[in-house]
Amino acid sequence: MQIKVPTLLLDEDKCLKNIQLMTEKASLHQINFRPHFKTHQSAEIGSWFKNLGVASITVSSVQMAVYFADAGWDDILIAFPVNLLEIDNINKLAQKIKLHLLLESVESTKFLIEKLKFPSGIYLKVDTGYHRTGLSHEDDENIMEILSLIKKSPNLKLTGILTHAGDTYSSKSKAGILNTHKQSKQQLEVLKKRILINFPDCLVSIGDTPGCSLATDFSGVDEIRPGNFVFYDIMQYFLGTCNYSQIAVAVACPVVAKHKSRNEIVIYGGAIHLSKEAVFDENNRKVYGLVVKLQNGKWGKPIPNTFISNLSQEHGIIKTTSEIFEQIGIGETIGILPVHSCLTANLLPHYSKGDNRKIIKFRFNG
């Protein structure tokens, strides 16, 4: 394969291992696995999950649900507060597959009761501390009103209560992640007990990659929905939730210029290929990606003391040592491990496995 422009490389072996590990973990704990497909957004990569027996998935938009329904998935949760404006496509999906929607307000619940024409599963979104979306587990007034509306509705069936403990991403240690995981889980368990009389089949569903990767205690949990683990990335590495050897994507970028006076190498690979997501490394340097050498579409460990220090639209700046500087030439191709693989994968039009075949993926089409 000859790479000429920024190209999203996928190491299939690493990716399959990541999928297998999480599938086995769910199986070991006898909980349902509903992986979030917003990270890879690809029907082909989805089929690798299907081959391991996965039957239910999570997506983050109605359009993505349509894409995966067309690819044969028939049990899909759109884990995003219902977008009332897409009710027509929601109805089409609800007619065709086992669709699950996310509710967190009385208003949207009433809207669905009026407009939803076919039975759908409902997950109640609970905020366990991340404060992005969801109802506080202590917000009895709204929770009970929504549940009583659901109870009376012929088309709305409560599938479960759900949280995304995104606050694990701001944890400073593995212990912190595990603590957030535990507290988040406990809040859902307490809530479940309160509503069990009316909804005996209500599931408890949790879903962040840091928690699902590190935790060994899933007591009280019925379902997990991690997504990022399929590729991982350097944000996860810095959180301590994966090893470098588990990072399954890298962006191959042509080297276009070198500046010896500041040991900087310029690549064709910028914010429109990698995204402007950054992390701070152990030396508190702002990092937009780490750098690996490529060989036949594969890579090893990141090159030490070498990182993307800045990104413009099309340019990436690699900061390195004088020694490494001499080893990388203009016209060569270098690999970048992304900070946030979900955003990087979203930006690039397809995956390449090192051969010439492209793995096609969903692309938001407005």
Say which residues have a Cβ less than 8 Å from residue 340's Cβ, sequence separation at least 6.
233, 235, 275, 277
| Options 18, 45, 76, 104; binder of a second copy; rule CB under 8 A | 104
**In the numeric block, which tokens belong to residue 7?**
């190209």
* Per-position b or e across 151-184, b if 16+ CB within 10 A of its CB: eebeebebbbbbbbbbbbbebeeeebbbebbeeb
Whichever of 31 and 290 has its CB closer to a second copy, that residue is 290
Q: Taking CB under 8 A as the rule, does residue 92 contact a second copy?
A: no
Spell out the residues 6+ positions from residue 136 whose beta carbon is closer than 8 angstroms to its own.
126, 127
CB count within 10 Å of CB 106 equals: 15
Task: Mark 251-290 with x for binding to a second copy (rule: CB under 8 A) and - for no binding.
Answer: ---x-xxxx--x---x-x--xxx-xxx-------------
280 vs 364, beta carbon nearer a second copy: 364
Specify the residue, 109 or 222, whose C-beta has the smaller distance to a second copy. 109
For residue 76, the cross-strand partners are 57, 99
For a second copy, which is the closer residue by CB, 208 or 222? 208
Round to whole Å and give the CA distance between 162 and 133. 11
Cβ neighbours, 10 Å, residue 38? 20
248 touches 48 (CB < 8 A):
no
Q: Which C-beta is closer to a second copy: that of 31 or that of 116?
A: 116
The smaller minimum CB distance to a second copy, of residues 222 and 309, is found at 309
Q: Which is nearer to a second copy, 31 or 206 (CB)?
A: 206
Q: Is 344 in the site for a second copy (CB under 8 A)?
A: no
Stretch that binds a second copy, among 16-24, 151-159, 211-219, 306-314 (CB under 8 A): 306-314
Round the CA-based radius of gyration of the chain to a whole number and report it: 22
**Minimal CA–CA distance to 324: which of 307, 342, 349?**
307
Structure tokens at 292: 């690996």
333 belongs to the binding site for a second copy (CB under 8 A): yes
* C-beta closer to a second copy: residue 261 or 284: 261
Q: Which of residues 10-69 bind a second copy (CB under 8 A)?
A: 38, 60-63
Question: Does the protein bind a second copy through residue 353 (CB under 8 A)?
Answer: no
| Contact between 331 and 227 (Cβ < 8 Å) | no
User: C-beta of 318: minimal distance to a second copy in Å?
Assistant: 12
Name the strand (E) or helix (H) holding 117: none
From 48-56, 182-190, 205-213, 314-322, give the range in contact with a second copy by CB under 8 A. 314-322
* Residues within the interface to a second copy (CB under 8 A): 2-8, 38, 60-63, 80-86, 104-105, 107-108, 111, 131-133, 166, 254, 256-259, 262, 266, 268, 271-273, 275-277, 310, 312-315, 317, 329-331, 333, 342-343, 346-350, 352, 358, 363-366
